[in-house]
Amino acid sequence: SARYSNEIYKTANMPGVAVGLAWTYVGGDILFIETLLGDGKGDMKLTGNLGNVMKESASTALTYLQANARKYSIDPELFSKKSVHIHVPEGAVPKDGPSAGITMLTSLASAFTGRKIKSYLAMTGEITLRGQVLPVGGIKEKVLAAKRAGLKEIIMCWQNEKDVQEIDSDFIKGVDFHYVKNMQQVLELALS
Amino acid sequence: SARYSNEIYKTANMPGVAVGLAWTYVGGDILFIETLLGDGKGDMKLTGNLGNVMKESASTALTYLQANARKYSIDPELFSKKSVHIHVPEGAVPKDGPSAGITMLTSLASAFTGRKIKSYLAMTGEITLRGQVLPVGGIKEKVLAAKRAGLKEIIMCWQNEKDVQEIDSDFIKGVDFHYVKNMQQVLELALS
Amino acid sequence: SARYSNEIYKTANMPGVAVGLAWTYVGGDILFIETLLGDGKGDMKLTGNLGNVMKESASTALTYLQANARKYSIDPELFSKKSVHIHVPEGAVPKDGPSAGITMLTSLASAFTGRKIKSYLAMTGEITLRGQVLPVGGIKEKVLAAKRAGLKEIIMCWQNEKDVQEIDSDFIKGVDFHYVKNMQQVLELALS
Amino acid sequence: SARYSNEIYKTANMPGVAVGLAWTYVGGDILFIETLLGDGKGDMKLTGNLGNVMKESASTALTYLQANARKYSIDPELFSKKSVHIHVPEGAVPKDGPSAGITMLTSLASAFTGRKIKSYLAMTGEITLRGQVLPVGGIKEKVLAAKRAGLKEIIMCWQNEKDVQEIDSDFIKGVDFHYVKNMQQVLELALS
Amino acid sequence: SARYSNEIYKTANMPGVAVGLAWTYVGGDILFIETLLGDGKGDMKLTGNLGNVMKESASTALTYLQANARKYSIDPELFSKKSVHIHVPEGAVPKDGPSAGITMLTSLASAFTGRKIKSYLAMTGEITLRGQVLPVGGIKEKVLAAKRAGLKEIIMCWQNEKDVQEIDSDFIKGVDFHYVKNMQQVLELALS
Amino acid sequence: SARYSNEIYKTANMPGVAVGLAWTYVGGDILFIETLLGDGKGDMKLTGNLGNVMKESASTALTYLQANARKYSIDPELFSKKSVHIHVPEGAVPKDGPSAGITMLTSLASAFTGRKIKSYLAMTGEITLRGQVLPVGGIKEKVLAAKRAGLKEIIMCWQNEKDVQEIDSDFIKGVDFHYVKNMQQVLELALS
Ligand SMILES: [Ca+2]
Ligand SMILES: [Ca+2]
Ligand SMILES: [Ca+2]
Ligand SMILES: [Ca+2]
Ligand SMILES: [Ca+2]
Ligand SMILES: [Ca+2]
Ligand SMILES: [Ca+2]
Ligand SMILES: [Ca+2]
Ligand SMILES: [Ca+2]
Ligand SMILES: [Ca+2]
Ligand SMILES: [Ca+2]
Ligand SMILES: [Ca+2]
């Protein structure tokens, strides 16, 4: 219910926590990506029962962010002076695939800038090393899960717009969609 | 019997030893999480026949504690000057899953603060990197095992309260339940 | 369509991004190789769901480029002062085999020299440590995929010329072929 | 025969060699745990065809001993200035399980203190990080094997006493049993 | 054809490239071993889809060469100041077995001395750490492949001479055989 | 034949090369253990298609030799200033088991002392960390293989004497047997 969801997003109201959309064998679901920075030497720790492709998304996101640090007003030295821990809760559920890429990058960017992520915002999309956003599968199931959880905005690749148009519009009333081509657009929408 | 249990908790009366609840193929059981700190460089050793998800819980707990060190009055330098060994006895039994998360964090917090954990207290719940407590499965079996072992208080996620209400109240007379939302509540209850 | 393809190559218009040709179970396809350099100590990170043989191609390409740095006007010290991340998008698709060798070397050379790669150019071919280009399989499928994607020039090994000659010339009108023996020829054609 | 056994224990008469009891698919057996310290940096090497649980026992024993070094009059600096090699002879036989825990700790304590272990003494029991001794299985088979080998004293967990009482007393005449709760009791009995 | 082969050996005319003989499921074949030295710390990289036994051959060859550096007029300090990359082209073909040992050692010796390897020369044989050459299998298939490729001299172990004598002499007209006992003989024949 | 064997042992006439006895699926066989020391930091490399138990034998042998360096007149600093490479020729044959232990220790002791090993001498036996020699299997097959290869002396554990006595004495005429209890006896017999 909306009450439960509100509860979640209030507690999530700290930098480094982003909401993604997953497509599992039981249908669509929302998932949180949590990033914490600590003192370190640029090492990255990944937890939450993640498969190799999902781990590679995190690695790709970190390299992209480091290469574009100045564009996002991040001190480049942080990447060698901090350790990065990314966790995806619900350890009992195996997670994999590239579709959490933009959520991971947003979580990282939020943690490195200290800027919170907009409330009631979810996203799904693969990332490339040069910062493009690629389309992903399971859009219908993901969007309906976001709606059920009380989320109000969703970011995805412009090439997924056609998948949203196939959903009955009654089911997604009140949800705003943002179709993007690159990570810069994602971060402008997501970081407050 | 109660006599046997008393015996156990007396010997366990040192910082770093927490009591968790597990759900195995033979039913519910209690398990101990033992943490010892030594001189080191922030490395963590995990023993006790633990699966990957359970190891990730320990890693997540350590990152959370380090990021919130000052809140819990822990000298942040300890995390780079100590080695951490977490052991879960009964090496013949494979153990896995995220539900020992809050027990591991409590064991770590006890070892890092030097404060003992309340006697006759057990707990079960998944942890997130931002310190939330998530619900877990097997509540009925775990609670009955805690009762059999003579434990008197149990901490779990507020979303598991409904699972406790389904247990016949005669079976859990004398056991106090604490329903929590985050790790700060757990540590306030657990550390004396 | 051509419109979609143009879009892709415009956004790809930065050093380090090369277009390769792959032969998958669904036929020919184009793939991008993206290289980003960061501060580091000569370490290489490879992502994109790559098999061992494809990873070895990247390693071989890097060693060749380092050994021939002066020939390509690259400061040899970069190889110990930079980290290299090579990513191949579309993480959901496993990729393997040696045929991306010349694409990887071109991507690396572009990143290390800062020179962009010619637009609408694709390539396929195995590389050796001494800089030869070796023939690969699946030429017909790869060439047709390049044509469909709007690419205009293709580089491959001179020993693959016979495979191109077997394709109906109507299907490849407007595509120029470059048959090469070694990497020096590839880089002269590819780097602007 | 006794003659053969005497021979064994005479040659074993050096610090670091402890006698354990194992329960294999052919019945009970004795096994030796050998520890040698060398110059090093606190690293531990484990050989003798050991499974992961048995390796974890050794790791747990080492952490316990380091944390309790002063109690046993061991210079704490040895743990960072020595390398530890633990070997369990008969490499053709795979060995696993937690029951060699107290034997490993005794072997380590003997090597670190330079004190020899009492002759004709065997032991079996799991260890915890806080130094408790836990009960193990296969007591009858292990005890009979110890008797056959000419051993005269056996240390085990007080919770295994009931298993010894089930053995026909004629079979174990001349063997003394020591039932213990913690490692301090084990080391007081074992180290001369 | 001979024309094609000549082409290959001309381009191979640089230090570090040696021609070996392999015996695959499709019969005999020639293979190239390529070695490049770079700035480093004595580390060795092996690529080309090699199995463990073949990798061990390379390791054995490098240790032998280092131990006998002065005999072959190699500055011993090179072994700690250079990195070694050995590549065996045709990454799509898995390769294994010890028979490339002498080819690997010759390739390494050529790279470390800067002396080219004789043209139109192939070789096959296992190496030992003390520099002996051991016999290998598949001699008939390997020799015929060398002949087809236009090679003119072949080095192998003296214990393989009997295998050559069983080949119809019409098939190997114009090929010279060198039967050797140790690596010193191989390198005297191979390095110009 | 004897002629062939003589040839082998003459070329083997350098420190670090020891002759062992193996028991394979085709019967008994001899095997060589070759040790070369190089400049290094105490690291050990093992090649020759060895299984884990055989690798552990080498590790155990090295620790024993280091701990007993002075007894065998070896400068203890060599163990941290040298790298050790142990190779067992015939890479096509997988090798495993603990029975090469004393051969490995003899090979190591020969390499570290610079003293050659007696000619025409073979050995088989497991080693313990405290220097005992343990009995091994396949004695009949191993002894007959040694005889066929022209070897004249064999060292083994005193507990294997009964296995030699079961062999028809006509088959082993001219072979001397040495039955030992510990490594000191082995090295006194083997090192000239
Ligand atoms: Ca969920
Ligand atoms: Ca997502
Ligand atoms: Ca239990
Ligand atoms: Ca628990
Ligand atoms: Ca594609
Ligand atoms: Ca390609
Ligand atoms: Ca035994
Ligand atoms: Ca034991
Ligand atoms: Ca070929
Ligand atoms: Ca070869
Ligand atoms: Ca043989
Ligand atoms: Ca042997």
Q: What is the predicted ipTM? A: 0.93
pLDDT (tens digit per residue) in A85-143: 999 999 999 999 999 999 999 999 999 999 999 999 999 999 999 999 999 999 999 99
State whether B87 and D134 contact (CB < 8 Å). Answer: no
Domain of residue E8 covers 2-190
Asked if E85 and C63 come within 8 Å (Cβ–Cβ), the reply is yes
Percentage of chain C beyond pLDDT 70 is: 94
Distance D86 CA to ligand 12 centre (A): 22
What are residue B65's phi and psi, to 5 degrees? Answer: -65, -40
Q: Supply the CATH number for residue A39's domain.
A: 3.30.230.10
CA of F31 to the centre of ligand 11 (A): 6
Q: What is the DSSP letter of A191?
A: B
- Of C57, C99, C107, C110, catalytic: C99
Q: Are E152 and E82 in contact (CB under 8 A)?
A: no
Task: Answer whether C133's CB lies under 8 Å from C125's CB.
Answer: yes
Q: How far is CA E90 from CA C95, D55, E12, E48, in A?
A: 17, 42, 15, 7
Q: Is 60 exceeded by the pLDDT of residue D12?
A: no
CB–CB contact F89 E126 (8 Å): yes
pLDDT in tens, A150-188: 999 999 999 999 999 999 999 999 999 999 999 999 999
Active site members of F: 99, 142
* CB within 8 Å: E63 and F85: yes
Q: Which-ligand-closest: CA of A21?
A: 2
- Chain F hits for E50, Cβ within 8 Å: none
Find which of E29, E41, E47, E49 to mutate to test the C interface (most C CBs within 10 Å of its CB).
E47
Three-state SS for C91? coil
Q: What separation in Å is there between the alpha carbon of F58 and the centre of ligand 8? A: 25
E182: phi then psi, degrees, rounded to nearest 5: -145, 170
Give me the residues near ligand 11 (ion), CB cutoff below 5 Å. Answer: F 29
Residue pair B95/B21 in contact by the 8 Å Cβ criterion: no
Check residue B24 and give its pLDDT.
81
Question: Identity (one letter) of the amino acid at A70?
Answer: R
Yes or no: say if A138 and A23 are a contact pair by the CB < 8 Å rule. yes
Residue E3 pLDDT greater than 60, yes or no: no
Question: Model confidence over E131-151: pLDDT tens digits?
Answer: 999 999 999 999 999 999 999
Phi and psi angles of residue A156, each rounded to the nearest 5 degrees, phi first: -155, 175
Summarize pLDDT for C18-32 with one digit per residue, the tens.
999 998 877 899 999
Nearest to B95 by CA among B46, B54, B43, B38: B54
Query: Which listed ligand is nearest to B139 at the C-alpha?
Result: 4
- For residue A130, give the nearest of C17, C37, C45 by CB distance: C17
Closest C-alpha among B56, B46, C36 to residue A85: B56
Contact indicator for B15, B115 with CB cutoff of 8 Å: yes
From CA D82, how far away is CA D43, in angstroms rounded?
8
Question: Which regions in chain B score pLDDT beneath 50?
Answer: 1-4
Query: For residues B79 and B69, is the Cβ–Cβ distance under 8 A?
Result: yes
Minimum-distance CB partner of B56 among A14, A36, A49: A49
Cα dihedral: B102, B105, B106, B112 (round 10): 180
> Which one of F57, F76, F79 has the shortest CB-CB distance to D91?
F57
Pair D154, D21: CB distance under 8 Å: yes
What is residue D27's predicted lDDT score, i.e. its pLDDT?
Answer: 87
What pLDDT digit, counting tens, does each position of B8-44 carry?
Answer: 655 557 899 999 999 887 889 999 999 999 999 999 9
A115 within 8 A of A191, measured Cβ to Cβ: yes
Closest Cα partner for D27 from D179, D130, D138?
A: D138
- Rounded to whole angstroms, the Cα distance separating E101 from E54 reads 8
Query: Quick check: helix, strand or coil at residue D33?
Result: strand
Encode pLDDT of C67-88 as tens digits.
999 999 999 999 999 999 999 9
Which of B57, B66, B132 has its CB closest to that of A91?
B57
E189: closest CA of chain C, how far (Å)? 23
Residue C11 scores a pLDDT above 90: no
| Rounded distance from Cα B87 to ligand 3 centre (Å) | 14
**Identity of the residue in B34, B37, B92 whose CB atom sits nearest the CB atom of D97:** B92
**Structure tokens given for D64:** 């316990």
Predicted confidence (pLDDT) per residue in E24-76, tens digit: 877 899 999 999 999 999 999 999 999 999 999 999 999 999 999 999 999 99
Residue D159 has pLDDT above 50, yes or no: yes
Enumerate the active-site residues of A.
Answer: 99, 142
Enzyme catalytic residues of B: 99, 142
Three-state DSSP class for E33? strand
Average pLDDT taken over every residue of chain C:
93
Residues in chain E closer than 8 A to C157 (CB atoms)? none
Whether residue E79 contacts residue E36, with contact meaning beta carbons closer than 8 Å, is answered with no
Residue B192 lies in a domain: no
- D50-78 pLDDT, tens digit each: 999 999 999 999 999 999 999 999 999 99
Minimal Cα distance from B41: which residue of D?
D80
- Mean pLDDT over C27-39 rounds to 95
In this prediction, residue F192 carries a pLDDT of 81
Along the 192 residues of chain F, how does pLDDT read in single tens digits? 344 455 565 555 789 999 999 988 778 999 999 999 999 999 999 999 999 999 999 999 999 999 999 999 999 999 999 999 999 999 999 999 999 999 999 999 999 999 999 999 999 999 999 999 999 999 999 999 999 999 999 999 999 999 999 999 999 999 999 999 999 999 999 998
D-interface mutation test, from F80, F99, F129, most D Cβ less than 10 A away: F129
How many structural domains does chain A have? 1
From the CA of E131, how far away is ligand 10's center (Å)? 16
Is residue E110 among the annotated active site residues?
Answer: no
CB spacing of A63 vs C48 below 8 angstroms: no
Q: What residues pair up with D182 in beta bridges, in sequence order?
A: D132
Q: What is the least distance, in Å, from the CA of C75 to any CA of chain E?
A: 14
- Residues of chain C with Cβ-Cβ distance to E96 below 8 Å are none
Chain C partners (3+ C-beta pairs within 8 A): A, E
Q: Active-site residues of D: which are they?
A: 99, 142
Q: Please pick, among E99, E107, E110, E140, the residue that the annotation labels catalytic.
A: E99
Q: How confident is the model at residue A11 (pLDDT cuts 50, 70, 90)?
A: low
Q: Which chains would you list as touching D if contact means 3+ CB atom pairs under 8 Å?
A: B, F
User: And the tokens for D8?
Assistant: 């064994």
